[in-house]
Structure 1
Amino acid sequence: MSNSSPSIVIIGAGFGGIAAAIELKKAGYDDIAILEKGNDVGGVWRENTYPGAACDVPSPFYSYSFAPNPAWGKRYAPQPQILDYARQVAEDFDVRRHVRTNTEVVAAEWNDGSGQWHVILKDGSELVADVLVPAMGQLSRPALPRITGLDTFAGPAFHSAQWDHSVDLGGKRVAVIGTGASAIQFVPQIQKQVAHLALFQRTAPYIFPRMDAAYGPQHHKVFEKLPFTQRAERVGWWGYLEFVTTSILYARPMAAVMSRVSRRHMKKQASAKPGLFEKIWPDYPIGCKRILLSDNYVPALAQPNVDVITDEVAEVTPTGVRTVGGVDHEVDVLIYGTGFTTTEFLAPITFRGRGGIELADQWSIGAQAYFGLTVPNFPNMAIMYGPNTNTGGGSVIFFLETQAAYVKDYVRALVEAGEPLEVRAELADAFDEETQKRLSTSVWTECTSWYRQADGRITLNWPGLSTEYRRRAVFKLDDYTAAPQGVRA
């Protein structure tokens, strides 16, 4: 690649795509096309509009370090404010003009001859780029449960990530399947409206006090006039969340203390309904699934119009949900709070690297990438929020900033080298082996969760602290080699 201004295609205009574009533009690269299948920037925060949608990481830390927002309305910002923030950052850093909305990518193919990526769009057109940056995230494809009869239900049915706001829940009998991070936010909101709510729980989450707080005019004034105060709060939350991660991963006695805090919080809030606490107290080690924060979820479950059902769901019928044992629960509306297809990285787009190898085939035993970013046989490509870069307790934006800096340095190296570069296979393999070895003794192996594949391999989480990731995930030219034609074994 001799061109000093390479053409770059970024797939996705969420927080990862925006971060990558900003870093690249700061370095002087402006030939950037950001392809977004939705109608706006924002990614997961554009799509998830369910009642009560909000972040579970404090706003000062769930934001870019280079773009603090003194106007956050709450410590845990609601979805509309986070979406507005993403829009504002895209405007302020001149990213918006690079975004092509309603543009869906179906395939990306590396051309060995030209040393470029051919990006095929749903409408049949094609873009050619020197560099490809998939930034599609891990929470972009809603997952429906594998339950017989999903299509037979006669009433309205939808996933929480595709909330149907045309459905009036007032006075209705509603079934919610799933008790994850989204459900604990929307259940308290809809409980107030519905005649009856049947909540089908497979595994219970650990819940901590939310400790939310409103940021009023005085806070906004101080944050604006004295920016160091907001930076100090950001550092404080970073330290707290690193402590939580340390407790989960390395300090079992501290994890036991955290478990007692959660137990006290949940038991007190469940006391109004005899037998409720026993149903909702988890039976796996704390930290195995993401710890959730709420002050109103358990109180909502304690209301007379809510039943928590722990019997396994056998099938969905035209009139409701049937559990194992043949009990029918008749409902008017069915809502799935069942998360996302997190382990199917970069799907449903088909990626073909050198020699036409498909990424899905190379990842047949599970997704893996060097620091979650680059993959052997796929030169000039860097993934944002890729395999093993999720955090079990911190802010993903901290990771995204590290990755965006890596992408910038990678592109600079490509320009200087004047030829395609790909990560050395032996380094990528050694990194994956180290990562999986560390994860094999972690708390995340002790239950089934969205962090793991069906075979138990953990493809989502980073095995250490975010500070370790930032220290180690630094581009080094020696980690790369010129990309030959054909596939390297």
Structure 2
Amino acid sequence: MAPRFEAVIVGAGFGGMGAAIQLKRLGIDDLVILDREDDLGGTWHINRYPGLAVDIASVTYSYSFEPNPHWSRLFAPGAELKAYAEHVADKYDLRRHMRFNVVVGGARWDDEAQQWEVRVENGETITARYLVTATGFLSQPKMPDIPGIETFAGKVVHTTDWDDSHDLTGCRAAIIGTGATAVQLVPKVAKKAAELTVYQRTPIWVAPKPDLRIPPPVRRLFARVPATQRLARVVSTSLLEMLMVVGVLRYRQARVTNRGAELLARAHLRRQVKDPVVRRKLTPGYSFGCKRPTFSNTYLSTFNSPHVHLETSPIARVEPDRIVTSDGGSAEIDTLLLATGFDLWDTNFPAIEIIGREGRNLGKWWRENRFQAYEGISVPRFPNLLSLNSPYSYSGLSYFTTIEAQMKHIDRLFGELRRRGATTFEVTDRANDDFLDAVTGRLGDSVFYVGDCSSARSYYFNQHGEAALLRPNSTLATHHQATHFPVTDYHYA
């Protein structure tokens, strides 16, 4: 039986839209994009919490082939990223392929029919020749496992499910978590709350944020002379590359660069926080880069305010009107805000159940063996699967570096499919093993294995203790490999 679609894409964020654009460029228009939310945009649709903004310069955090000259700031607010996603969907004619409020339960490869069967939770089964999973790295919220949290009588809000109707003015609030989301959220809540207690398990390195307004004359220049915005992108990308490649991935050879970034963050902390005791609590004990650092000019200084309290004692339990810590202390609250991040390694890789050839369950196989994916996109025993959010796929600090590299990989792979007159591809075991050996070997020089990451509690590390998220390459190397990988690394039929 012929499949209903040539391709099913799971996820209508920037990754899924990038894959759809590439497939349409290749002439594959018979595709459907499924998303569990009620609109497109992925992260930038789901998240609406106060202070939401991109933490990569906007000129870099966007498709290189679709520059946006209208960013209002160097680090655009979340609403502008959502508007940019809508613009891309309209320009590249993607909306007609999208179906929302569709929860995908799983997918199974039918070896006899040579197609994927995608199971939707309403009971529908959708068949397709190719399956693309673009569910995002940060799509499965992590809920804290704290005794008594279900008994709390006040308002509980996770940052991925923000309630705009809840007025924070005059409230007694608690925020659990001090990752990148909390860094943006804390200053905004502090402006409204009568009392705010921030519960920190692991401090985060915070660097100054050059968050400049982009004046209208510059925006007009970007629109009229696109080369000027391309130049700005090159400069921004180069700075990120230096931080990522030299300071993090080449830590063994360039500790001085990493140390320089750490000294910058320490100096920023000294300037921002007056109380030396609070300052010590906010100082990470792990090497810069073990956990994704962030940028802010307001987060650290918020702790100078008398109504803002930093709590580092572990939470013992939640009661109906308060949080109690292990040292016996407590804070009365009426609003509990959860900035507890996402669950990558237990529920996000993959975000849905995927069963390949010989009954191989992708999630189970990864957890029982090692997390791995050839070029961060293909896995043996999973024919015609393009897994965009996979181990060793994230290249650079901007997600768009990863997306565009994967688009190039798809272009080369499908070009070879057509040249051979084939319809099915599957990466070989040999190619997958060689790639895994290569990336893990290069990561041996990184801060993850040479630096001190013991106290970082970083989502870069999986349950096997491997830093299996980042691709240990420069952006240029990743994109070169995407266009030059040996086509013989795949079987074709």
Q: Which residue of the partner structure matches residue 51 of structure 1? A: 50
Instruction: List per-residue Cα deviations over 1:191-220 (Å, max 9, x = no partner).
Output: 010011100111111111100111121111
Moved more, 225-234 or 439-448: 439-448
Q: Which residue of the partner structure matches residue 408 of structure 2? A: 405
**Contact 1:116/1:131, CA 8 A, preserved across alignment:** yes
Instruction: List per-residue Cα deviations over 1:384-421 (Å, max 9, x = no partner).
Output: 13212224x62110110110121233234334442422
RMSD over aligned CA atoms reads 1.9
Which AA in structure 2 matches 1:213?
Answer: L
Q: Which residue of the partner structure matches residue 339 of structure 1? A: 341
Distance 2:226 2:72 in 1: 16
1:304 aligns with 2:306: yes
**Contact 1:353/1:379, CA 8 A, preserved across alignment:** yes
Aligned with 1:33: secondary structure?
strand
Instruction: List per-residue Cα deviations over 1:216-272 (Å, max 9, x = no partner).
Output: 21111111111111000000001111111112232101111111111111111102x
Q: Which residue of the partner structure matches residue 247 of structure 1? A: 247
5 Å-filtered alignment, 1:422-441, equals: 422-441=426-445
Q: Which residue of the partner structure matches residue 224 of structure 2? A: 225
Q: Which residue of the partner structure matches residue 115 of structure 1? A: 114
Distance 2:421 2:433 in 1: 24
**Contact 1:384/1:404, CA 8 A, preserved across alignment:** no
**Contact 1:345/1:367, CA 8 A, preserved across alignment:** no
Alpha carbons of 1:408 and 1:2: their partners in 2 closer, same or farther (altered >3 Å)?
Answer: farther
Aligned with 1:326: secondary structure?
coil
Q: Which residue of the partner structure matches residue 146 of structure 1? A: 145
Instruction: List per-residue Cα deviations over 1:354-387 (Å, max 9, x = no partner).
Output: 1222112211244311011000000001111321
**Contact 2:173/2:334, CA 8 A, preserved across alignment:** yes
Cα deviation for residue 136 of structure 1 reads: 0.5
Which AA in structure 2 matches 1:179?
Answer: T
Aligned residues: 480
Aligned with 1:473: secondary structure?
helix
Cα deviation for residue 122 of structure 1 reads: 1.0
Distance 1:375 1:97 in 2: 30
State the identity %: 37
5 Å-filtered alignment, 1:116-135, equals: 116-135=115-134
Note the residue ranges of structure 1 that are not aligned, 5 or more in a row.
Answer: 484-489
Aligned with 2:272: secondary structure?
helix
Which AA in structure 2 matches 1:277?
Answer: R
5 Å-filtered alignment, 1:23-42, equals: 23-42=22-41
Aligned with 1:161: secondary structure?
helix
**What TM-score, normalized to structure 1?**
0.94
Distance 1:304 1:150 in 2: 27
Instruction: List per-residue Cα deviations over 1:39-81 (Å, max 9, x = no partner).
Output: 1110011001000000000000000011000111111010000
Q: Which residue of the partner structure matches residue 487 of structure 1? A: none
**Contact 1:136/1:346, CA 8 A, preserved across alignment:** no
1:461 aligns with 2:470: yes
Distance 2:26 2:350 in 1: 30
Aligned with 2:385: secondary structure?
coil
1:326 aligns with 2:335: no
Distance 1:107 1:2 in 2: 20
Which AA in structure 2 matches 1:356?
Answer: G
Distance 2:436 2:482 in 1: 14
**Contact 1:20/1:408, CA 8 A, preserved across alignment:** no
Which AA in structure 1 matches 2:458?
Answer: S
Cα deviation for residue 6 of structure 1 reads: 7.0
**Contact 2:408/2:479, CA 8 A, preserved across alignment:** no
Aligned with 1:142: secondary structure?
coil
**Contact 1:205/1:289, CA 8 A, preserved across alignment:** yes
Distance 1:163 1:202 in 2: 22
Cα deviation for residue 438 of structure 1 reads: 3.0
**Contact 1:9/1:131, CA 8 A, preserved across alignment:** yes
Distance 2:375 2:348 in 1: 15
1:165 aligns with 2:179: no
Aligned with 1:133: secondary structure?
strand
Instruction: List per-residue Cα deviations over 1:300-352 (Å, max 9, x = no partner).
Output: 11111101111111222222211112222221111111111122334442111
Q: Which residue of the partner structure matches residue 486 of structure 1? A: none
**What TM-score, normalized to structure 2?**
0.94
**Contact 2:159/2:338, CA 8 A, preserved across alignment:** yes
Return the match for 2:488 from 442, 458, 478: 478
Distance 2:425 2:311 in 1: 54
Cα deviation for residue 187 of structure 1 reads: 0.6
Aligned with 1:363: secondary structure?
helix
**Contact 1:176/1:200, CA 8 A, preserved across alignment:** yes
Distance 1:187 1:89 in 2: 31
Alpha carbons of 1:104 and 1:6: their partners in 2 closer, same or farther (altered >3 Å)?
Answer: closer
